[in-house]
Amino acid sequence: MKIAHVSDLHFGSLNHIPEWADTVREMLDEMSPDILVITGDLTMDGYEHEFKEASAYMARLKCGKMLVVPGNHDARNEGFTMFEELFGTRFPLVETDEVVIQGIDSTEPDLDAGHIGRENYKLISDAGAVKNKVRILAIHHHLIPIPGTGRERHIPVDAGDALFTVVSSGINFVLSGHKHLPWAWRLQDTYFVTAGTATSRRLRGKRYPSFNVLDIQGDVATLSQVNVSDRSTKAHMVVSNLLSRTATDFSFV
């Protein structure tokens, strides 16, 4: 089971690089992932023409299944309505014999900060309750601050409760974007994996455009990072015993 994790395409931005978008498409065609997860910011300002350009591009991507959640840029200018028109629900679910992936819209209209929402915690816990499958949550906003990205301003306002729900429910991986910097944290038995920007020049320092690949074989997963500029791939980490991990019962009270 191969899952490609792409984020922050930013169609409509002057910093969007069509050549990088072509490279991402070609590399996805070559690897033919079973599932493609796109964690938001398909557009720059949520305008209709940007969504149509992003949608046309995504329609050309070859993959078994696709799960897409909106980013804060997509929620601008009533863009969330365009997202629903083109991609359907903002809370998509993909389940196969090997994995369950729950997507959640963490955006708020015209705000850069995130919000998961108590009404959506059950979606997380239900995904975590699935037995004998790797359990994944896909959102745009990061739940844990990312080093090298400056003062934290955009983390979801209910990150603490969301983190508790994620960890206590037994979610294996949380996939996110937003900060344009690839990173991975481990909290308890959950891995929080952030993808960089795949097709935008809005990079930090001397970073390069990139996306992630999660290769799952039974209860072992290998996370790799793909450098779009030179097409190289490097393994980042290996996680084992995924299927034996269940909900964590803990309290500090």
Residue 105 clears pLDDT 90, i.e. is over it = yes
Every domain of the chain and the residues it spans: 2-239
| Architecture, CATH, for domain 2-239 | 4-Layer Sandwich (3.60)
The C-alpha atoms of residue 205 and residue 208 are separated, in whole angstroms, by 9
Residue 1 CB neighbours (<10 A): 17
Q: Is 0.85 surpassed by the pTM of this model?
A: yes
pLDDT of residue 242: 86
pLDDT of residue 153: 83
Element containing residue 234 per DSSP (H, E)? strand 232-239
Task: Give the residue carrying structure tokens 């400056």.
Answer: 150
Residue 178 clears pLDDT 60, i.e. is over it = yes
pLDDT of residue 128: 94
